[in-house]
A and B are shown apart, each in its own frame.
Chain A
């Protein structure tokens, strides 16, 4: 799984600040997925993106959360005005085009809101 890179690995934010989580997919992968794992809970889908397109954001909270995957550079998951309930591990996965079922995970970013 070394191919999918996420940074930072750990992020501490105060309530009200913004959090930016980055994900670089594996080489040759054009699809990116974000998942969230709340404390003591399982993984939940958030959003699926291709380059410059959001394909499925049905798992994203309606407010404060946004995601992008620009033509150049990593995918960004942005959380505005963070609250304590946003504290979680955020995992990114990537897949080749046409093979969404074949996802490889990054190491995750652990967000702590104080």
Chain B
């Protein structure tokens, strides 16, 4: 069992839909990251959070420390949101532990 698990693995939506990607982790973490990767592209850090909720534009990330669960929401989705979204946990040690990623496709 991976230490960080994401669902769904693949997600297809129509433009304008509300999207949720879930992340569960089994390790103790100091912070949870949501990352975005476009095809052939670099990695963009969307959020780093250790409690509560953060919002940036149409993106919202929440975390429940007790349940070891985080969600990434995208409101009013757009085709340019199509990318791989990666959840990762940062511990007080060194490495980040990554989920397998969620491939999001938003159709016009």
Contacts and interface: CB of A to CB of B under 8 A. Distances in A.
A33 interface: yes
B100 A1 contact: no
Given A59-B95, A108-B42, A43 B86 contact: yes
Contact of B43 (A56, A91, A110): A91
Given A42-B86, A108-B43, A103 B96 contact: yes
Contacts of B98: 42-44
Interface residues of A, number: 23
B76 interface: no
Interface string B46-63: 001000000000000000
Interface residues of B, number: 26
Given A42-B99, A45-B95, A45-B96, A101 B29 contact: yes
Nearest to B93: A100
A106 B42 CA distance: 7
Interface string B64-107: 00000000000000000000001010111111111111000000
